[in-house]
Structure 1
Amino acid sequence: MPYSLLVRHCGQLLSLAGGPTSQPLAGAAMRQWQVITDGYVACEQGRIVAVGPMAELDEGQVTPETQIVEAQGRVVMPGLVECHTHLVFGGNRAAEFQRKLQGESYLDILASGGGILSTVRATRAASDAQLLDNALHHLAGFRRYGITTLEAKTGYGLDAETELRLLQAARLAGAQQPVRVISTFLGAHVPGPEYGGRPAEYLEMLAAEVLPRLNPEEVPFVDIFCEQGAFSVAESRRYLAQAQTLGFGLKIHAEQLHDLGGCEMAAELGAISVDHCDYLTPAAAARIAALTSGRTVAVLLPLVPLFLRQEQYAPGRAFIDVGLPVAISTDFNPGSCPSKNLWLALSVACLKMGLTPYEALAAVTLNAAWAIGQQHECGSLEPGKRADILVLDVPTAEEIPYWLGENPVRTVIIGGEVQTD
Structure 2
Amino acid sequence: MWDRLLVDCKIATLQARPGDPLGIIDNGAIGITDGKIVRVGKRTELAGTRAKQVDALDGAWVTPGLIDCHTHLVFGGNRADEHAMLRAGATYEEVAKAGGGIASTVERTKAASDDELLEQSRARLHALMRGGCTTIEIKSGYGLDPKSEIRLLKIAESLGEGEAVRIVPTLLALHALPAGSRDRRAHYVGEMIDKLLPAVARDQLAASVDAYCDTIAFTLAETERLFAAATELGLPVRLHAEQLSNRGGAKMAARYKALSADHLEHIDEAGVEAMAQAGTVAVLLPGAFYALQETKKPPIDLFRAHGVPMAVATDCNPGTSPLLSPTLAINMACTLFGLTPEEALAGMTVNAARALGLELEIGTIATGKIADLAVWRLESLTELGYWIGLPGPERRIFAGVDG
CA 251–191 in structure 1, closer or farther in 2 if over 3 Å, else same: same
Equivalent position of 2:12 in the other structure: 14
> How far has the Cα of 1:197 moved from its partner?
3.6
What does 1:267-306 correspond to in 2, within 5 Å? 267-290=254-277, 292=278, 295-306=279-290
TM-score, normalization by structure 1: 0.91
> How far has the Cα of 1:231 moved from its partner?
0.8
* Contact 2:11–2:26 (Cα < 8 Å) also in 1: yes
RMSD: 1.7
What secondary structure does 2:237 align onto?
strand
Separation (CA, whole Å) in 2 of partners of 1:194 and 1:50: 57
What does 1:248-259 correspond to in 2, within 5 Å? 248-259=235-246
Equivalent position of 2:39 in the other structure: 50
- Matched AA of 1:289: A
Equivalent position of 2:148 in the other structure: 162
> How far has the Cα of 1:193 moved from its partner?
2.2
> How far has the Cα of 1:186 moved from its partner?
0.4
CA 185–40 in structure 1, closer or farther in 2 if over 3 Å, else same: same
> How far has the Cα of 1:336 moved from its partner?
0.6
> How far has the Cα of 1:241 moved from its partner?
0.4
> How far has the Cα of 1:408 moved from its partner?
4.4
Aligned with 2:307 (options 316, 319, 323): 323
Separation (CA, whole Å) in 2 of partners of 1:318 and 1:345: 21
CA 340–317 in structure 1, closer or farther in 2 if over 3 Å, else same: farther
What secondary structure does 1:347 align onto?
helix
* Residue 401 of structure 1 pairs with residue 401 of structure 2: no
Identity %: 38
Equivalent position of 2:60 in the other structure: 74
Deviations along 1:290-320, whole A, 9 cap, x unmatched? Answer: 3x1xx21111111111111111121223212
Separation (CA, whole Å) in 2 of partners of 1:17 and 1:9: 20
Separation (CA, whole Å) in 1 of partners of 2:383 and 2:96: 41
Separation (CA, whole Å) in 2 of partners of 1:194 and 1:376: 43
* Residue 198 of structure 1 pairs with residue 184 of structure 2: yes
Separation (CA, whole Å) in 2 of partners of 1:404 and 1:59: 42
- Matched AA of 1:204: G
* Contact 1:131–1:166 (Cα < 8 Å) also in 2: no
Equivalent position of 2:221 in the other structure: 234
Equivalent position of 1:3 in the other structure: 2
* Residue 150 of structure 1 pairs with residue 149 of structure 2: no
What secondary structure does 1:175 align onto?
coil
Equivalent position of 2:82 in the other structure: 96
Deviations along 1:340-366, whole A, 9 cap, x unmatched? Answer: 212111122122222211111111101
Separation (CA, whole Å) in 2 of partners of 1:119 and 1:101: 19
Separation (CA, whole Å) in 2 of partners of 1:111 and 1:264: 28
Structure 2: give runs of 5+ residues left out of the alignment.
Answer: none
Separation (CA, whole Å) in 2 of partners of 1:360 and 1:264: 24
Equivalent position of 1:24 in the other structure: none
CA 143–310 in structure 1, closer or farther in 2 if over 3 Å, else same: same
* Contact 2:15–2:21 (Cα < 8 Å) also in 1: no
Separation (CA, whole Å) in 2 of partners of 1:107 and 1:372: 29
- Matched AA of 2:330: L
Separation (CA, whole Å) in 2 of partners of 1:200 and 1:83: 30
* Contact 1:377–1:385 (Cα < 8 Å) also in 2: yes
Number of residue-to-residue matches in the alignment: 402
Aligned with 2:296 (options 298, 312, 335): 312
TM-score, normalization by structure 2: 0.95
What secondary structure does 1:59 align onto?
coil
Separation (CA, whole Å) in 1 of partners of 2:248 and 2:97: 28
Deviations along 1:355-407, whole A, 9 cap, x unmatched? Answer: 21111111110110011111111101111111111111212122221112212
What secondary structure does 2:62 align onto?
strand
> How far has the Cα of 1:33 moved from its partner?
4.1
- Matched AA of 1:254: A
After TM superposition, the structure 1 stretch with the greater mean CA deviation from structure 2, 188-197 or 147-156, is 188-197
Separation (CA, whole Å) in 2 of partners of 1:255 and 1:15: 32
